[in-house]
Structure 1
Amino acid sequence: MTDAPALLQRRFQIAEHMRAIYFVTVEESIKPEDVLRPDFWLHVASQLKPYDLIEVAVDSCEWRMELVVCDVWHCGARVAELNRIDMAGKEEEDQSVGADLRVKWRGPVNKWCVVRADGVILRGGLDNKNTALETLTAIAQERQ
């Protein structure tokens, strides 16, 4: 017999029984550094526990983060960044009309949107990009 360590059955669990995975969408004004602050989690801290995973996505699709909960208390949570992805890229030319109207994905809340150059959403909640492009064309024609 060997003295090498072996995993005990009671320490072998289905992951879903041991931790939760949350998906969070934040507004554009929220920066990656903001979600790392313990007080950012104030309103949901009671739902979290150590080892929970949190996926954070920003409405503008500029970045995405994966976090693990390290500690929780009544007014906050300490999280650690596991991964951060910069998703900002060059916009496709077929998504714009003129200098001020564009089609953009604005996250799972607003979905596909027609937005002005200043970021104001003119029409949101569109289910797919083709519908958004058609809406963009219609709005551009209304403006003429």
Structure 2
Amino acid sequence: MAAQSLTPSWLKRKAYFWVTFILFAVSVAAHWYFGWKDFSSEQLAHGQPIIVGDYVNQMMRETFENWQSEFLQLIWQVVGLSLLWYCGSPQSKEGDDRREKKLDFIIRRLDPENAEALLKEWEQKYPCK
């Protein structure tokens, strides 16, 4: 009899989501907690009342500013990489084709008798996408 897993299957299937969600929730909670500590100490230092509405407005602004800068960085990384890939940078498909031609040449030089058979076998095992 196989041992039953203690982890429910839905949790295991969505583990990446749950880990990401927990990290996100903890980081947002910590951001808001330490923001509250900073906001309240600053208000008290200036002799002003602590108004929760002002705190929420300030933290929402700071949170969205942070997210905006992160999304802009991510968009540039995706778009920039796509453009470089398309334009033929060393990371593009053309670079792979060139490398593959060089390797084929080396294989044919090292083992001329078996090279074609070996290359055909590899082509069947690892077809081009």
TM-score by length of 1: 0.21
Alignment TM-score, normalising by the size of structure 2: 0.22
